[in-house]
Chains A and B, each alone.
Chain A
């Protein structure tokens, strides 16, 4: 059984608000780079970048972070941490204000791995985290700076984010396991 908790309109609004909050927090868009965590974080990152482009007429670099081995929301991999690769990023992050973008923030392990991958590339001025959904159950001391929606969830539930670029629609659903 699936329940839609964020519909297409609400997802658009959430990304719009996150974009404005990024401008508020960073006092503009200078030195900003946006890194999306695959798969859906990449599309969210591009949408935020396109909004910044619309508002500020500035092209903010967008890169992909690839989760290479396993995902932390799949039960049998729970004892191994995810690995994130920054191999696709062809610009420098040194001295930049990095915005990491992911669809769901859960244990925090992916984000920790993503931060390591970014810092292997260079020394950013700062790293902020933007997520569409924060579902709780953190296992590491990590929190998001920009949250689309807080969805307190049970660990038995699955949060499914759909984006229209690769799915049939924009939505966030809760599925009972």
Chain B
């Protein structure tokens, strides 16, 4: 395999072996602390234009299978791993990770001390740009420094057109900000008759479909860049229809109801933080992936109730509206990749729709 380099905007370079595609790419460098689920991670659109460092040292050992796509066309910019394995005995495996990355023109680099990089990134404040390149020369750094990261991630990955996912149960409208398929799978398991709408849909577009419930999906990037229109839509819809929001959807739900958001110094992607469910005072674990967090002090307690809180970093992980059956979680309740113990939030959503019918 060819020798390649990961370079960071602070001028550091890390030599490793290339795998996957031979492309030269740039993006925001973030780290994933998840032990499981590299396929879910690499295909999740929240990683649009990002180079993902995996703290888990052995990546690739279950191949790529049809069950674990969080989107079909991954748009991450690269994978940085300690060891890459292209042999898999998983019975579902259809492709090796290497083949998959080649098909999607995503470069990987192995032989990197990823745990060192995870610690280093924590010390570097703010988004860090990086590239995967063949030669770590001055030209490569110039190119990297000249790279401007887009803030139109949602536009790039969310569906531009509505589409249905028909079934026989409750009518659910999903607003797509770059959704992970796990959300659709959880709704399918509960027989929901889903219509996915683009994130630019108006409240009228949503209400025209006479949904029993509305779900605001996960997605990449900053919730602060999406404008007032979507917040207006949320405020109108939440007063009419049970609403459930996840990830970016949660951040928008918070904004729509007067809370403020702050960018985290370092994006957090992992599943090892205990999360307290306040109402029953018990603990659960969930896959988390966030670059922003709701500022606890900014929450208007006459409008929102804090329902979940991260016990490690203290971030708000869930909210509920005081006046309407509308609630949200920062973490990925679909459990793809696991843990699965927050999946019953989808049951809570179903039951809030049923309760509304009376």
Query: Which segment, of B85-93, B188-196, B210-218, B276-284, faces chain A?
Result: B276-284
Question: Do A51 and B279 have beta carbons less than 8 Å apart?
Answer: yes
Question: Do A55 and B348 have beta carbons less than 8 Å apart?
Answer: no
Question: Do B279 and A21 have beta carbons less than 8 Å apart?
Answer: no
Query: Which segment, of A5-13, A103-111, A115-123, A152-160, faces chain B?
Result: A5-13
| Nearest CB in chain A to that of B282: its residue | A12
Task: Give, as a whole number of angstroms, the nearest-CB distance from B323 to chain A.
Answer: 6
| Nearest CB in chain B to that of A150: its residue | B354
Question: Do B322 and A54 have beta carbons less than 8 Å apart?
Answer: no
Task: State whether the Cβ of A147 lies closer than 8 Å to any Cβ in chain B.
Answer: yes
Question: Do A54 and B355 have beta carbons less than 8 Å apart?
Answer: no
Question: In the bound complex, how far is the Cα of B320 from the Cα of A54, in angstroms?
Answer: 14
Question: Do B351 and A12 have beta carbons less than 8 Å apart?
Answer: no
Q: Is the interface of A mostly helix, strand, loop or mixed?
A: helix
Question: Do A17 and B355 have beta carbons less than 8 Å apart?
Answer: yes
Residues of B within 8 A of A56 (CB): 305
Question: In the bound complex, how far is the Cα of B279 from the Cα of A27, in angstroms?
Answer: 17
Task: State whether the Cβ of A162 lies closer than 8 Å to any Cβ in chain B.
Answer: no
B328-358: CB near A (< 8 Å → 1, else 0) gives: 0000000000000000100110011011000
Selected from B278, B280, B348, the residue in CB contact (under 8 A) with A17 is B348
Question: Do A10 and B280 have beta carbons less than 8 Å apart?
Answer: no
Task: State whether the Cβ of B324 lies closer than 8 Å to any Cβ in chain A.
Answer: yes
Residues of B within 8 A of A17 (CB): 348, 351-352, 355
Residues of A within 8 A of B323 (CB): 24, 27
Question: Do B320 and A9 have beta carbons less than 8 Å apart?
Answer: no
Question: In the bound complex, how far is the Cα of B272 from the Cα of A22, in angstroms?
Answer: 33
Task: State whether the Cβ of B291 lies closer than 8 Å to any Cβ in chain A.
Answer: no
Question: Do A55 and B279 have beta carbons less than 8 Å apart?
Answer: yes
Residues of B within 8 A of A27 (CB): 322-323
Question: Do A147 and B281 have beta carbons less than 8 Å apart?
Answer: no
Question: Do A23 and B322 have beta carbons less than 8 Å apart?
Answer: yes
User: Using a Cβ–Cβ cut-off of 8 Å, how many residues does chain A contribute to the interface with B?
Assistant: 20
With A23-B305, A23-B322, A24-B325 in contact, do A13 and B347 touch (Cβ < 8 Å)? yes
| Nearest CB in chain A to that of B347: its residue | A13
Chain A, 38-78, CB within 8 A of any chain B CB: 51, 54-56
Question: Do A54 and B280 have beta carbons less than 8 Å apart?
Answer: yes
Residues of B within 8 A of A12 (CB): 280
Task: Give, as a whole number of angstroms, the nearest-CB distance from A43 to chain B.
Answer: 15
Selected from B325, B347, B354, the residue in CB contact (under 8 A) with A20 is B325
Question: In the bound complex, how far is the Cα of B280 from the Cα of A12, in angstroms?
Answer: 9
Task: State whether the Cβ of A128 lies closer than 8 Å to any Cβ in chain B.
Answer: no
Task: State whether the Cβ of A161 lies closer than 8 Å to any Cβ in chain B.
Answer: no
Task: State whether the Cβ of A19 lies closer than 8 Å to any Cβ in chain B.
Answer: yes
User: Could you tell me which A residues sit within 8 Å of B by CB distance?
Assistant: 9-10, 12-14, 16-17, 19-21, 23-24, 27-28, 51, 54-56, 147, 150
User: Could you tell me which B residues sit within 8 Å of A by CB distance?
Assistant: 278-281, 305, 307, 320, 322-325, 327, 344, 347-348, 351-352, 354-355
